[in-house]
Amino acid sequence: MESSGAKPILTFKEAALRSGLVTSKKWKRAVAIAGSSEEAEVADALIRSGDVTEYQSNQLRGGRTKFNLGPYLITGWIGQGGMGQVFKAVHSVMGRECAVKTLPLEKLTAESRAAFVREIRLQAGLDSPYVVRAYDAGQDGSVHYLVVEYVPGTDLRRLVRSNGPLTMNHAALVVSQAAMGLQYAHDLGLVHRDVKPGNILVTPDGHAKVSDIGLAGYSFGGKDDPRAGKIVGTADYLSPEQIRCPSAVDPLSDIYSLGCTLYYVVTGKVPFPGGDAKSKCRRHCEQTPWHPRKFSPELSEDFVDVIADMMEKDPAKRIQSATEVVERLEPWSTTALEFVDRPIDRRSWTQPPPPKEPPQKELAAGRESGENSESAHSGGLGLSDGQSVPGSMSSANPVMEPLLESSRRPSLLLPISLTLAIAVPISLLFGAILGVVINEWLQR
């Protein structure tokens, strides 16, 4: 039982009106649409009319009324980020969709605040089509927030989990774009440190962007970084040198992690599954993963070689830059472009071309050439059962058989006429000669 001093939970209607998302007029309209004042039905009507989102509706039904962080209206929940929660939002004036990363009050320590401010400043200086951009930052009460580009779609980890491993072409296209984003960061002296499928966002049309670059560290300097000397990253994708000497990481560590990511994308498996983080770290340093073709036999050896060169344990033997990754994947990434951002043709069959000549002329041409093979007249049309083409000469069509039979009979008239034209004069000549011979014989 709640104590007498407990704050009462607002009803859905009270929360909706207090939040400012719903006016009294909108509420009455939703009740009329729903035909009921039941909470669930009115909530559904408000969602259908676009007055609230599903996320907002769920929050209102829980009695929560605050949906603003500065000028940003929270419309949905995206997930848990490296620092705090990530929300989908829209700017109340500009109407631009964005993602808002928050640092909640319970995590607000001197160290976490310094790291969050550091991320904001790093992110603000990045401008690449292959990196999630930062738009704004601010503080609302005790909540610090960072506003970044909203990327529609999903991350690479969720994509593989829902759809299975990607083909070589699609994997190469996505990872190549991520590599271009990493090269941009490396050129600025940054190392990501936590490259993994969950930090590569993929849009529905196949474009990829690297996220959480702001959590990266400078490859040189960085003495003020509170994470200096600590392992930063995810155990499934850590490079051996990150594990052995965290303070000595450089861009080649990101190449190894991107190789592990590519391994996961085409196999659906992390390089070293099972075990705890300590076990995974040991295997990254001492063991080699299963051959990718064990899980995806269709992978070519050339493609597998690229993964192996990215995951080389010795940094000196590893692919030496993200640009080189792009070049090595080019044979597959360029051919994947034809599958991206193309409209889908919903027709089941390719339509046959119109006949070049009227059907009767086609029949006459057939009589002259004597060709009547099925391959000559029905190939390449892709017809389904029961379909026919006007003027077709396929002998498999019973409707055409009488026409074909009648077309064959006139072709015998010419030989018969020629035979008679030759035989009749010869027989007449032979008869005349025979008559003369018999007449002379009788006169003797």
Last residue of a domain, one of 150, 175, 209: 150
Is the alpha carbon torsion for 34, 37, 42, 46 positive or negative? positive
Query: Is 194 annotated in the active site?
Result: yes
Please check the confidence at residue 298 and state whether its pLDDT lies above 50.
yes
In a domain, 359, yes or no: no
Q: Are 205 and 341 in contact (CB under 8 A)?
A: yes
Q: Which residues are annotated as a binding site for ATP?
A: 101
Helix/strand/coil percentages in the chain, nearest 5: 50, 10, 40
**208 and 253, same domain (yes or no):** yes
Q: Which of 228-237, 259-268, 371-380, 415-424 has the lowest mean pLDDT?
A: 371-380
In a domain, 37, yes or no: yes
**129 and 162, same domain (yes or no):** no
**189 and 102, same domain (yes or no):** no
Q: Which one is catalytic: 51, 155, 194, 254?
A: 194
Q: Which of 67-76, 181-190, 270-279, 398-407 has the lowest mean pLDDT?
A: 398-407
Is the alpha carbon torsion for 147, 149, 154, 158 positive or negative? negative
pTM of the predicted protein model: 0.67
Task: Give how far Cα 434 sits from Cα of 102, 424, 438, 441, 442, Å.
Answer: 124, 15, 6, 11, 13
Please check the confidence at residue 268 and state whether its pLDDT lies above 50.
yes
Last residue of a domain, one of 135, 150, 165: 150
| pLDDT tens per residue across span 93-139 | 999 999 998 876 666 677 777 777 777 787 778 889 999 988 888 88
pLDDT of residue 285: 92
Domain of residue 114, CATH code: 3.30.200.20
Please check the confidence at residue 283 and state whether its pLDDT lies above 90.
yes
Rounded CA separation 382/406 (Å): 29
- For residue 279, the Cα-to-chain-centroid distance in whole angstroms is 33
Q: Which residues are annotated as a binding site?
A: 101
**47 and 122, same domain (yes or no):** no
Last residue of a domain, one of 112, 135, 150: 150
Domain that holds residue 217: 154-222+229-339
